[in-house]
Structure 1
């Protein structure tokens, strides 16, 4: 089970990279270049608020899973 958790850590990191790509290049930058005021505000929210939260959370969870922080052999202190 611990090996699966480490493999899933890599999956979470890959999801973080995919989310970063989609948030920046698919959702964020096209909103900046559209020229409309509503799209500009939405692009700012996506790029500077949602992207760091989503990518940071997925990446952190993946790193902890890869390091073995969620393994069953850890004892509570």
Structure 2
């Protein structure tokens, strides 16, 4: 079971990288380029608030899982 947790840790880290890419290049930057005030505010919120929270959270979860922090017998 611990090996599965380590493999899933790599998956979570990959998901964090994909989420960062998707939030920035597919959501935030196109909204900022449009230039409308409501789109600009939404793009800034995505870029500076939501993307770091989501990406860092997923990355830390994957890192801790990869390091074995969730193992029953921590050595």
In 1, distance between residues paired with 2:16 and 2:44?
19
2:61 aligns to what? 61
CA RMSD, 1 decimal = 1.0
Misfit runs of 4+, over 2 Å:
none
- Structure 2: gaps (5+ residues): none
Greater fraction helix: 2
Task: Give the deviation of 1:74 after TM superposition.
Answer: 2.5
TM-score by length of 1: 0.94
- Structure 1: gaps (5+ residues): none
2:46 aligns to what? 46
TM-score by length of 2: 0.97
66-75 vs 16-25, which moves further: 66-75
